[in-house]
A = this chain, B = another copy of it.
Amino acid sequence: MSEPEAPITRARGRSNRRAVAGGHEAAAVLAGVELRIRPYDLLSEEGLLAIEDAAAVILEEIGIEFREDPESLDLWRSAGAVVQGELVRFPRGVLGPILKTAPSTFTQHARNPARTLKIGGQNVVFAPAYGPPFVRDLDGGRRYGTLVDFQNFVKLAYSIPWLHHSGGTVCEPVDIPVNKRHLDMVLAHLRYSDKPFMGSVTSVERAEDSIEMARIVFGREFVDQNCVILANINANSPLVFDATMTGALKVYARANQGTVIVPFILGGAMGPVTTPGAIAQSFAETMVGCALTQLVRPGAPTIFGNFLSSTDLRTGSPTFGTPEPALGSLVVGQLARRLGLPLRCSGAFTSSKVADGQAMMESAVAMQAAVQCGANFILHSAGWLEGGLTMGYEKLILDADFCSALHVYMAGLSVNPNQLALEAFREVGPGKHFFGCAHTIANYRTAFWESEVADNNSFEQWRDAGEKDALLRANARWKKLLAEYEAPPLDPAVDNELADFCARKKSAQSDQWY
């Protein structure tokens, strides 16, 4: 018996669970998850106005540098900003109207339409970690990432229904030349997954190659009118955008593709040590980046990004999953909602080198803040270790399990007669148990979240099964997922055209290793 009032996401999750049990996990399709509980509003109107005002002072008085990019300086000059050399200052009232053309929600199409994602509103998308040069697993320890690792992570993210997005640089394939690896990365996303993905941003040409490969799959006209690829554009905080980043930004925006504009602020290093100041800075940098996309092509999809973390000020080491950035994320969420832009937040952060108690405690804090701040696109949802330097196989599995739990948390509670269970109390009465009662039988399938990794058995069962901790269980799970992986179908003609494109581009230039 099904439960008609169960939230859609959970019901779909449960049918996925049954698919999992049958060994066909990748058949499960979750096109994001809806946040049905309200975001946590930390600051009052007064506090938000003070931060918005501080951002306005930063923009008007201090300004933001656009380095080695005369085109962007021209765009800003025409838009009413004050340009002196490479420094751009923004009088109050300049950015607001520019940002109005940015869509509050947009669609990122997947090559499998069932996996196409709505980005914005109450929809939430989990994507794996981005950027680590190293990988780690229990068997091999820590080592440089390779293309095989990259492909493995694409396959794993495809196999896990709680990750809705294939991500981008899930690890750096360090065995491939720097100037060619973007081709193999985009090919892997398109070949080994049918979820939406992210393209290269490390040069104009690589950005163009990424979009060109998307055009092979989706068609040139479709790509001009629809978002099929996202690009992660980092500010060089504090208060700088460099030509590599704005170059890629302009390529994606001009092609009507999605950009994620993200400061990178470790308080005390690239921003002040006080969180409200870091938020004001983040807000200023992101608004400017998002606005630049609209100067390039009004209406191009862009995501308001957020990456705040703290620093151990005795050593200078970055810290992650700490309380200050969790509070900061809640405020950035409030600010993004006032602007009406989709919000990116991170992620399963930790500075731990392994997926131990520190890692999962820090990741749970950061992820819960990301969800509670109302983020629409949560990059680094799974796999992140060691401040982002390492992508962990076991960490990916443990984080994805937390993403699964968050699907249920985000659904909130439905209060209705079946959920209130008065019939169960009438049947069971004082002092008896509910295991076999009619209400339990009618509801047990959808009642409780089921972890794919947790051990809830008795001590004796656990001991007799070899005292496996979470790391060992996660190790077994990613191996099982890879062993069972089956590639989603891709038209062989398209696959050939992609491969030809990559081969042609690779043979046209010599290898560069830095």
A424 within 8 Å of B by Cβ?
Answer: yes
Q: With A364-B364, A413-B276 in contact, do A356 and B471 touch (Cβ < 8 Å)?
A: yes
Q: Let me know if B272 and A424 touch, CB within 8 A.
A: yes
Q: With A431-B239, A435-B268, A453-B358 in contact, do A420 and B469 touch (Cβ < 8 Å)?
A: no
Q: Let me know if A238 and B43 touch, CB within 8 A.
A: no
A338 within 8 Å of B by Cβ?
Answer: no
| A58 contact from B324, B425, B440, Cβ within 8 A | B425
Q: Let me know if B353 and A459 touch, CB within 8 A.
A: yes
| Separation of A431 and B57 alpha carbons in the complex (Å) | 17
Q: With A64-B430, A398-B361 in contact, do A43 and B413 touch (Cβ < 8 Å)?
A: yes
A504 within 8 Å of B by Cβ?
Answer: no
Residue in chain B with minimal CB distance to A348: B361
Contact residues of A between 254 and 291, Cβ < 8 Å to B:
267-278, 280-281
Which of the 9-residue segments A75-83, A376-384, A442-450 touches chain B? A442-450
| Separation of A419 and B274 alpha carbons in the complex (Å) | 5
- Chain B residues positioned under 8 Å from A424 (CB to CB): 272, 277
| Separation of A167 and B313 alpha carbons in the complex (Å) | 34
Q: Let me know if A409 and B323 touch, CB within 8 A.
A: yes
Residue in chain B with minimal CB distance to A441: B273
Residue in chain B with minimal CB distance to A66: B430
| Separation of A351 and B462 alpha carbons in the complex (Å) | 11
Residue in chain B with minimal CB distance to A271: B434
Q: Let me know if A434 and B358 touch, CB within 8 A.
A: no
1/0 per position for A303-337, CB-CB distance to B under 8 A?
Answer: 00000001111011111001110111001000000
Q: Let me know if B361 and A363 touch, CB within 8 A.
A: yes
- Chain B residues positioned under 8 Å from A451 (CB to CB): 319, 322, 358
Task: Tell me, rounded to whole Å, the shortest Cβ–Cβ distance linking A370 to chain B.
Answer: 13
- Chain B residues positioned under 8 Å from A37 (CB to CB): 42, 327
Residue in chain B with minimal CB distance to A359: B357
Q: Let me know if A419 and B277 touch, CB within 8 A.
A: yes
Q: Let me know if A317 and B421 touch, CB within 8 A.
A: no
- Chain B residues positioned under 8 Å from A422 (CB to CB): 54, 57-58, 277
| A324 contact from B354, B398, B408, Cβ within 8 A | B408
A62 within 8 Å of B by Cβ?
Answer: yes
A428 within 8 Å of B by Cβ?
Answer: yes
Task: Tell me, rounded to whole Å, the shortest Cβ–Cβ distance linking A220 to chain B.
Answer: 39
Q: Let me know if A408 and B273 touch, CB within 8 A.
A: no
| A420 contact from B54, B61, B431, Cβ within 8 A | B54
Q: Let me know if B42 and A413 touch, CB within 8 A.
A: yes
- Chain B residues positioned under 8 Å from A280 (CB to CB): 420-421
- Chain B residues positioned under 8 Å from A58 (CB to CB): 422, 425
Q: Let me know if B239 and A430 touch, CB within 8 A.
A: yes
A113 within 8 Å of B by Cβ?
Answer: no
Contact residues of A between 431 and 478, Cβ < 8 Å to B:
431-435, 437, 439-440, 443-444, 447-451, 453-459, 462-463, 467, 469-471, 474
Q: With A239-B430, A471-B357 in contact, do A448 and B409 touch (Cβ < 8 Å)?
A: no
A142 within 8 Å of B by Cβ?
Answer: yes
- Chain B residues positioned under 8 Å from A357 (CB to CB): 355-357, 359-360, 398, 469-471, 474
| Separation of A273 and B442 alpha carbons in the complex (Å) | 10
A201 within 8 Å of B by Cβ?
Answer: no
| Separation of A47 and B36 alpha carbons in the complex (Å) | 14
1/0 per position for A214-238, CB-CB distance to B under 8 A?
Answer: 0000000000000000000000101
A483 within 8 Å of B by Cβ?
Answer: no
For A47, A365, A433, A448, the residue with the greatest tally of chain B CB atoms inside 10 Å of its CB is A448
Q: With A447-B273, A447-B274 in contact, do A413 and B268 touch (Cβ < 8 Å)?
A: no
| Separation of A64 and B421 alpha carbons in the complex (Å) | 17
| Separation of A406 and B327 alpha carbons in the complex (Å) | 11
Q: Let me know if A418 and B362 touch, CB within 8 A.
A: no
- Chain B residues positioned under 8 Å from A353 (CB to CB): 455, 459, 462-463, 467
The 3 closest A-B pairs by CB, nearest first: A277-B421, A239-B430, A272-B421
A-B contact pairs, 20 of them (CB 8 A): A46-B415, A50-B416, A54-B420, A238-B429, A238-B431, A239-B431, A240-B430, A273-B439, A274-B420, A276-B421, A280-B421, A310-B447, A310-B449, A323-B408, A323-B409, A324-B448, A351-B455, A353-B463, A357-B360, A358-B451
